[in-house]
Chains A and B, each alone.
Chain A
Amino acid sequence: MTKDQETESGSYRNKYDEVEKVQIFEQEFMPHIDSMYNFAYRLTFEEDESKDLVQDTYLKAFRFINSFERGTNAKAWLFRILKNSFINDFRKKSKQPSKVDYQEVENYYNSDDVDEKNTVDLRVETLKDMMGDEVTNALNALAVDFRTVIILCDLEGFTYEEMAKILDIPIGTVRSRLHRARNLLKEKLSSYAQSMGYK
């Protein structure tokens, strides 16, 4: 039986030999370690936790390497593992907002969709003057689910379809969450601008 036949029959056990595994790991997984570390840092805000999270993710990726299809999007595959590890192993430990908090935020913005545009007064010129720390703080102030979609879309350039897979949510939810996340970010940036006396 060839390797391909094994894959088709659903058995991943011996899909790649040891040499191929290490090759895939080096060529397809390791090049994304910068993005992975920054994603972890933006979720946990801590160096040690980020290191643990990234290491866990890479070790898991290697352990389950037979379920990775060569030539498919390794970055999205790795991001999905990291996000799941964060939710299952890391979020429990820390005092991240629970699902309930998030739901409240989402409901609030659902009901407010019509008026929210008018509440933010932010100018392009103001944004140009902002410093890195101010922008970073505004992003970090968002609840983790909103922060995540901004990171994935605006910083990492994933498509909506890739985001849907990484986050295990429908594309429609990706769209609406991103829309709300951007409005929330605008509000944060606007209040930063005001407190810094930009206007």
Chain B
Amino acid sequence: MLDNEASQDEEEYLNSHIDSCIVCFEEYNLEKEIRELLRSKVNKHQVPGELVTSIRNKIIESV
């Protein structure tokens, strides 16, 4: 469901289950939060400018 891979029926069932089951409600929220955490906080690296230049140069040389 979190990955948008559940069918509509599955989604409806899971949603109604989560509303009434505290264990799954907490589990779902935890997984959602971990996803958010990964997207917002995992360190991102900037592509070195010289890499982009080097790739373009090699492509131009080869054509």
Contacts and interface: CB of A to CB of B under 8 A. Distances in A.
Nearest to A178: B3
B47 A33 contact: yes
B54 A122 contact: no
A77 interface: no
Nearest to A25: B59
A128 interface: yes
B21 interface: no
Prevailing SS type, chain A contact patch:
helix
B45 A41 contact: yes
Contacts of A82: none
A72 B33 CA distance: 32
A185 B41 CA distance: 14
Contact of A37 (B4, B5, B30, B47): B47
Interface stretch (A6-14, A84-92, A95-103, A150-158): A150-158
B5 A33 contact: no
Interface string A31-55: 0011001100100000100110011
Interface in A54-72: 54-55, 58-59, 62
Nearest to B62: A62
Interface string B13-54: 000000000000001011101110111011111011001101
10 contacts: A58-B59, A59-B62, A62-B62, A128-B37, A132-B43, A136-B41, A136-B43, A154-B34, A182-B34, A186-B34
